[in-house]
Structure 1
Amino acid sequence: MRRLDLAVEAVYRYRRPDPACWDAVVEAVCSRESSYHADRALVQAGQAVARHADRIAASLRQGRGFYGTAVDRDVEVLALALAGTGDPRGVPALQRLGEHGGFPTQRPWACVLAALPAAGLLPIVRAVLRKTRHRPEAGLELLAGWGPDAAPAVPEVTGFLDTDLAHDALRVLGRIGPAAAGTANRLVDFVTGRAPRAGRQHTRLAAWAHWKVTGDPALALDVCGAAVTSGSGSHALPYLADLGPLAGAHTDTVRGLMESSPGAWTRVFAAHAYWRITGDAEPSVPVLLAEVDPDWTGLQALPTQEAVRRLGEIGAPAAVAAPLLHRILAAEERLSDPYETTRILIDTSYTRTLTEALKRIAPGTATPGAELVPAVGRVRLRGLRGW
């Protein structure tokens, strides 16, 4: 067990551990001689264990399986680990997990499942949303990441507008777009406060979703523009950014927030919105770069990863950021997330963001270790503390 403990410690701590460490983790889990932390490490491994996909698949086939409504924990771990490599051989086990009430429902699992094609998982997710007794954040997160490909799930998603997951449902409907146009009146009810679950936190999101499903930006411009103008709507800035030049009337207000707001998140959102509205990156890049702390630990209260993501969207005009991003990506140790069991997922998300940003900012330049960064699909890591 000492060898396994050292291997687990290494894969949690280092971005590019000796491959033998991952070998030891895989062998322990597949031979049922594992530990809680080894299980969690394997689930988060992604492409780092892709070369072991056959071994994981064979172990999954030999799993003890299901007993009534009880699910063998090994099946869940192995199915998720295989899914994280993008291997579809994990899908049948995930379907059975759904049938027995064991499908992963908490949000962090979405980052793992997103490595699989939407077509294979969509029927399973829809069935889970119809029957789950738990909060299915993972399923809703997957649907939001799939966007228009999640259109068949509109009926299931709409049902969550009447629950405490209304915020997630609104986000999914907006991401689906025109295929969810039948929900337009429900979205207006959230904007006006008539919906039973409507709250102040839903207004701007619902207005944005209304634009995405109907193609009419009037409501989103009115609601989000008024929020930003009043000085109380920093959370409206991402929606103005999405509206782009359509939100040109708010350029001066957005620039003022970018230059003078005391809140780091507000400055980052405003810098991104200003660039999206005007196409002028010059004032935005320094604001975003100032929030890229090379010593960031992964603390979600700071907008470091968001700033990197937006610099990447700007691309070549943000070339001044490239040396710093290269240096951060080359670091040997992962982000020191205090929630140890999600450390690999959080760091993987960050290294993926850094890699994609550098591809846009300085294409063709060497990116240390980029080939070893596991993909996490299109799902952004949100709320990882709820593992």
Structure 2
Amino acid sequence: MRRVDSAVEAVHRYRRPDPACWDIVVDAVCGESSSLGADRALVQGGPAIARHADRIAADLRRQQGVFGTAVSHGVSVRAIALAGTGDVRALPALRHLAEHGGLPYNRPEARVMAALPAAELVPVMRTKLRRDADDYHGNTTTLEVLGLCGEAAALAVAEVARRLDMPYAYDAMRVLGRIGPAAVATADRLAAYATGRDPRTSRNHPRRAAWAHWRVTGDPTLALDVCGAAVRSGSAGHGLPLLADLGPLATAHADAVHGLLDSPGAWTRVAAADAYWRITGDPEPAVPVLLAEVDPDWTGRPAVPVQEAVGRLGEIGTPAAGAVPLLRRILAREERLTHAFDRTRILADEAYVRTLTDALERIAPGAGDTVPASRHVARKG
């Protein structure tokens, strides 16, 4: 058991553990020596456990045979882990879990399922929406996954639109916006939220609703009005990212955005830098602002927008070449981000690694290819 614990510790702690550590985790979960730590690691394994997909799929079928129509922790662990590898053999189990309440109720674990083809995943999420109509976490996690499905979530427009009448309206607006023109039937409802005509409108609704209205109708007028007013009024943190999406359409607001590059708030500075270059096409004022927020010692604290700054530098591309040495140094670190629970630590770090890798590839193709592949092994015993 000590060897299992050591392997679990290695995969949670290090970015590049010896593949044998993942082998031990899979052996533990699919054998007789599993633990909560091993289960949580497996759910987060993703591509690192893809070579074990056949074994996990077989053990999932065995678990389903043991528990029949009941929902069990073991079935959920194996189904989510298999989904994280992109293996469609997870789908029958996910459908069953959606019907009976066994899918994840926290956003990071729910996002694991987005590795599956969106067209196959959306019907599962529709089932979950129908089952969890009154459950807060059930709705928010399902809407999170549907948002990641983008246009493919069009089949769920009716179910998502119903959430505009519920406490999940903000999340529903994000999904409808990402679906785009296929959700145009919701335009009037979104306009009511954007203008405050809907009595349920709260502080953050107008900007998101106006953005979604633009995405579903193609008409930017309302979004420019509402998001531009937010930036000018000082409530920029919530308006800037949406204004950034409008790009050159928001040229009239470029000066107001530029004025926020010196904001006392780090999140606002990063959002302003992103919005300014996307609106004007001029990266020169944005790059130093973004680079200043890239802390090489960042532990993953969500109060600091380090990952967002890295991602924006990557989107700028070659004009951000000065960031390459720092990004390579961060990517080469052996230990994962520490500011996360074991339940999500691997997921949080892998997301950061993807952001770093993508940024390097966009800024200087091949710059991340020589990052050392260190190995950390499990102790024997």
Answer whether TM exceeds 0.5 for this pair: yes
* Alpha-carbon distance in 2 for matches of 1:336, 1:62: 35
* Alpha-carbon distance in 2 for matches of 1:146, 1:266: 28
SS of the aligned residue for 1:257 comes to: coil
1:63 partner amino acid = Q
Aligned equivalent of 2:360, options 353, 358, 361: 358
* Alpha-carbon distance in 2 for matches of 1:282, 1:142: 35
1:335 aligned partner: 337
> In the TM superposition, what is the alpha-carbon distance from 1:98 to its structure 2 partner?
1.4
SS of the aligned residue for 1:300 comes to: coil
1:256 aligned partner: 259
Counterpart mapping for 1:1-80 below 5 A: 1-65=1-65, 70-80=70-80
1:325 aligned partner: 327
Mark the CA change 1:122 to 1:280 in structure 2 (over 3 Å): closer, same or farther.
same
Contact 1:329–1:368 (CA under 8 A) maintained in structure 2: no
* Alpha-carbon distance in 1 for matches of 2:94, 2:11: 25
2:121 aligned partner: 121
* Alpha-carbon distance in 2 for matches of 1:370, 1:147: 35
* Alpha-carbon distance in 1 for matches of 2:301, 2:189: 35
1:297 aligned partner: 299
Deviations 1:256-309 (A, max 9, x none): 101x20000000000000000110001100000100000000011100000011
Aligned equivalent of 2:268, options 266, 278, 289: 266
* Alpha-carbon distance in 1 for matches of 2:243, 2:104: 34
Mark the CA change 1:196 to 1:131 in structure 2 (over 3 Å): closer, same or farther.
farther
2:316 aligned partner: 314
| TM-score between the two structures when normalised by the length of structure 1 | 0.92
2:264 partner amino acid = P
Deviations 1:35-91 (A, max 9, x none): 111100000010101111111111111115585874121100001111111111111
CA RMSD of aligned residues (A): 1.7
SS of the aligned residue for 1:63 comes to: helix
> In the TM superposition, what is the alpha-carbon distance from 1:368 to its structure 2 partner?
4.5
* Alpha-carbon distance in 2 for matches of 1:157, 1:52: 35
> In the TM superposition, what is the alpha-carbon distance from 1:195 to its structure 2 partner?
2.4
Greater shift in the superposed pair: 244-253 or 290-299: 244-253
> In the TM superposition, what is the alpha-carbon distance from 1:165 to its structure 2 partner?
1.2
Contact 1:26–1:52 (CA under 8 A) maintained in structure 2: yes
2:379 aligned partner: none
SS of the aligned residue for 2:39 comes to: helix
* Alpha-carbon distance in 2 for matches of 1:67, 1:82: 18
1:89 partner amino acid = R
Greater shift in the superposed pair: 273-282 or 66-75: 66-75
* Alpha-carbon distance in 2 for matches of 1:66, 1:237: 52
Contact 1:329–1:367 (CA under 8 A) maintained in structure 2: no
* Structure 2 gap segments, 5+ residues each: 375-381
Contact 1:207–1:220 (CA under 8 A) maintained in structure 2: yes
* Alpha-carbon distance in 2 for matches of 1:89, 1:201: 40
Q: Does 1:203 align with 2:209?
A: no
Contact 1:65–1:75 (CA under 8 A) maintained in structure 2: no
| TM-score between the two structures when normalised by the length of structure 2 | 0.94
* Alpha-carbon distance in 2 for matches of 1:34, 1:195: 51
> In the TM superposition, what is the alpha-carbon distance from 1:311 to its structure 2 partner?
0.5
Q: Does 1:238 align with 2:217?
A: no
Greater shift in the superposed pair: 335-344 or 53-62: 335-344
Identity of aligned residues (%): 65
Contact 1:65–1:71 (CA under 8 A) maintained in structure 2: no
Mark the CA change 1:31 to 1:83 in structure 2 (over 3 Å): closer, same or farther.
same
* Alpha-carbon distance in 1 for matches of 2:306, 2:360: 15
Counterpart mapping for 1:105-184 below 5 A: 105-132=105-132, 133-134=134-135, 135-136=137-138, 137-184=140-187
* Alpha-carbon distance in 2 for matches of 1:139, 1:370: 37
Contact 1:255–1:270 (CA under 8 A) maintained in structure 2: yes
Mark the CA change 1:314 to 1:346 in structure 2 (over 3 Å): closer, same or farther.
same
Mark the CA change 1:46 to 1:32 in structure 2 (over 3 Å): closer, same or farther.
same
